[in-house]
Amino acid sequence: MVKESEIGKKIKNIRQQKMLSQSEVVAKLIEQDINMSRETLSKIENNNRTISAIELKALCNIFDVDINEFFTEKELEDLVTFFRKRNASKSTLQEIAKLQNMVRVFINHEKIYKGDSKL
């Protein structure tokens, strides 16, 4: 499961990648009937306020990203952590990391094959 603090970081990263200011995002949120101030968006990005599902969905629309962008990557990262917590050997952790990277490559190839522009 993804921590809310990671969602805030991802929101900020995606906003910056899209070269949008907080004020621009807030203006677009208001167009979607989501009343949010720039300060509130800043609190969300800095993990000082949680985000509702409705607000997150509106941000996905604005950023033109799938909501899964906020959840899937962490699940992959947790695989190595999962085995590390169970005291797996160093060689096992290295093999898990290799497999995890292979899965990421396959996912990206599938997105390219399907013409997904949200890589």
pTM (2 decimals)?
0.59
Give yes or no for a contact between 14 and 65, defined as CB atoms under 8 angstroms apart. Answer: yes
pLDDT digits (tens, 9 = 90+) for 7-48: 899 999 999 999 999 999 999 999 999 999 999 999 999 989
* 23 token code pair: 């004020």
**What is the largest distance, in Å, between two alpha-carbon atoms of the chain?**
53
Q: Where are the domains of the chain?
A: 4-66, 71-113
Percent of the chain at pLDDT > 70 equals 87
Q: How far apart are CA 65 and CA 104, in angstroms?
A: 18
Q: Which CATH architecture has domain 4-66?
A: Orthogonal Bundle (1.10)
Which position has the higher pLDDT, 101 or 25? 25
> Is residue 3 classed exposed, middle or buried when 0-12, 13-18 and 19+ CB atoms within 10 A define those classes?
exposed
